[in-house]
Homo-oligomer: A and B are copies of this chain.
C-alpha cells in the first residue's frame, strides 16, 4: 500500500529529484495497533533534515492523516515515509518554487528470529567506509550508496555490519547505532561527521541518563571494541540487539540491555 502525494499509486514521476540526486529524506516508523508510538520524534528529525537540505517542511498534520489512514487496523507494520524536493528540470539547481513529493509505503513487520533479541547477533566490520561531511551528518537523507555497498559485503552469515568512517573511527551499523559498555559507562560514537542520529539511539541515551546509567558520546577506534563489557545495536524496528560476536570473536553480554529495554518500553510505549 503506497500513497504518493495522497494518491494510491505505485508509480512516481520519473523527473523526481529523489531519483536523480537522492535529493530528499526518509523515515522508517514502527506501527503498533495502527499508530506510530514515536511519531513526533520522527517528525522532528524529518523537519531538521528538511531545514538542512532547504526542502519545505511537510505539513505534519496532513502527513499524520495519511499515515493514520494507511495504517488503520494494522496490529504491526512498518511505515516508510519519503520526502523529496519534488520534480525538476535537469541540473543540480533546486527548482523555485519546488513542490516536495511525499511518499508513504506500508510494509510488513520484519520477522526476525527471537534469538537475535535474546541471545544476540553476529556482526562483522565492513570494508566499506563512511565518508565525512558535517553538513549531511545525522540526517536520514536519500544518499545511501555507502550503506548499500556495505550491506552487499555479506549474505546471511551475519545479522549486521559495523561501519567505520574514512579516518577509521567507529560510527554505526549499516541500519543501526552502536552502544558499547566500558568501565560501567555506556558509550556511543558521536554523529557529527557522518552517520544517522537514530531515534532509538536518542531514546537509549535519554533513558540511560534517567535511570542512572552513565552514558556519553565518545570517539572509538575498532580496537577499542576488543575489550568491552558488552555491546548492542539500536534502531526503532529492532529495538536493542545485543552483540554475540564481532568478527567471529565472542563478546560479553551486559545486563543493561534488558533494563534499558524495559525502561524505554515503560516511558515510550514501544515494544520490549
Contact = CB atoms under 8 A, between A and B. Distances in A.
A21 B82 CA distance: 11
Contacts of A145: 21-23, 53, 136, 141-143
Contacts of A267: none
A231 interface: no
A151 B94 contact: yes
Nearest to A154: B93
A20 B107 CA distance: 15
Contacts of A90: 28, 78, 80, 105, 107
A4 interface: yes
A148 interface: yes
A10 B54 CA distance: 26
A129 interface: yes
A174 interface: yes
A10 B13 contact: yes
Contact of A144 (B13, B21, B28, B105): B21
A263 interface: no
A21 B166 contact: no
